[in-house]
Amino acid sequence: MSLFWRIFVLDAVGLIVAAALLLGPVTVSTPILPGEVLVVLAGLAALLTVNAVVLRVGLAPLGRLGRAMADVDLLRPGARAVVAGPVETAGLITTYNAMLDRLEAERAASAAGALSAQERERHRVARELHDEVGQTLTAVLLQLKRVADRAPEDLREELGQAQEATRAGLDEIRRIARRLRPGVLDELGLVSALRSLAAEFTTHGLTVRHDLRAGLPALTEETELVLYRVAQEALTNTARHSGADRAELRLRPAGDDVELLVRDNGTGLGAQAGEGAGIRGMRERALLIGAVLTVSSGADDSGSGGGTDIRLLAKAAAAPATAAAATVAPASPGGAR
C-alpha cells in the first residue's frame, strides 16, 4: 500500500470511529464533564500516535536512501540501497539503484578510454625520448669524446665533466622512458618487469624485498599492465610519502586469481586526510579489469602493525570484466598519498 493510502485510511478510520461514538454512547455536555474530556483527549492521543508510527515506518527507507546517496563512491562500486517501504519509496530506491548501475558502467567505459589513451601517449613519449633525445645525447657524448681526445690538457678535465653530465642525462632519459613504457614487460613478462621495478627502487634508497611466484595463471595484457602500474604507483607513494626504508613486493596465485601486495614500514595512511591522486589512480585502473583494490594499515611477518598494505586481487580471465569492486579498510594514522 502506498504511503498516501496508508495515511488516508488511518485518518478515515479514526474520524469514522469518532463520529460513530459521538452519535452513539458518547456525548458532549455543556459544560463539559471531566469524563468527556478524558475520552476526547485519549482518542486524539491514539490518533496522533498511530499517525506518527505510520509516518516513521513509511519514511524510514527515505532516510536510509539519503545516507546511501551521501556515502556513494563510484570508485567503490557495487553498494546499493535496500529496496523497502511503500510503493513510492520502493520505486524511488529502485530508480536510484538503476541510475547507479548506469553511472558505474559509463564511468568504467570512460575510465577505460582515458587510461588507454594515457598508455598510448606514454608509449609515444617514451619512444620519442629513446629514439630522438636519447640518440641526440649519444651523438653529443661521442662528439665530446672526440673533442676531448684532441683537446689541450688544460681543457680535458672540463670536457670530462661535460661528458659525465651528458652521460648522466642520457641515463636519466632512459630511466624516464622505461618508467613511461616498461619494455621489459612486453619482452620478458610481468615477473621480470616487477623484479626490475623492485631493483630500480632499491637503487634509489628504498630496500625492496620481492617474492614473485612463478606458475601464475594466464593473464591478459590489460591485467599485466594494471598489475605493473599499481605496483609502480604503490612503490612511488612509498618512496615519496611514507617515510619508509623497507618495502615488500609480492605476486602470487590465489586460487583462480592473482594477488599483488605492496607493503611498507612507513607512517601509514591518515584516516582523516583522504586519498590522494595516487590511490585514486590505482582504483581507476582496478576498475578496468574487475579487480579488488584494498588499502589498509600494514603488519609485518611478526604480526606487529605499522605501514601500509596495498593489495590488488585480479582475476585470471580471458577478457577484462566490465564491473569492479574496490574496498578500503581502516588505515593507520599518517599522511595522505
Q: What is the pLDDT along the chain (337 residues), one digit of tens a residue?
A: 666 677 777 777 877 777 777 666 666 666 767 777 787 788 778 877 887 887 787 778 888 888 888 877 776 777 788 888 778 788 888 888 898 888 878 877 777 777 778 778 877 887 888 778 888 888 888 888 888 888 888 888 888 888 889 888 888 888 788 777 777 777 788 888 888 888 888 866 788 898 887 778 888 888 888 898 899 888 888 888 777 888 899 998 887 889 999 988 887 765 445 567 778 888 888 887 878 888 887 655 545 556 888 999 988 755 444 444 444 443 443 444 5
Domain boundary among 87, 106, 125: 106
Question: Three-state DSSP class for 238?
Answer: helix
Residue 87 falls inside a structural domain: yes
Domain boundary among 75, 106, 137: 106
Domain extent at residue 98:
3-106
CATH classification at residue 219: 3.30.565.10
Q: What is the DSSP letter of 218?
A: P
Phi-psi region of 243 (alpha: psi -120 to 50; beta: other; left: phi over 0): left
Asked whether the bond before 320 is cis by omega within 30 degrees of 0, the reply is no
Residue 90 falls inside a structural domain: yes
Which three cell numbers, joined as nine digits, stand for 302?
A: 611478526
Residue 117 falls inside a structural domain: no
Domain boundary among 106, 129, 159: 106
Residue 134 falls inside a structural domain: no
Using alpha carbons, select from 175, 291, 278 the residue that is nearest to residue 225: 291
| Identity of the amino acid at 286 | A
Are residues 197 and 327 located together in one domain of the fold? Answer: yes
pTM exceeds 0.95, yes or no: no
Residue 99 neighbours by CB distance under 10 Å: 10
Residue 155 falls inside a structural domain: no
Question: Three-state DSSP class for 113?
Answer: helix
Residue 124 falls inside a structural domain: no
Residue 133 falls inside a structural domain: no
Are residues 208 and 302 located together in one domain of the fold? Answer: yes
CA-CA distance, 210 to 201, in Å (whole number)? 11
Residue 214 falls inside a structural domain: yes
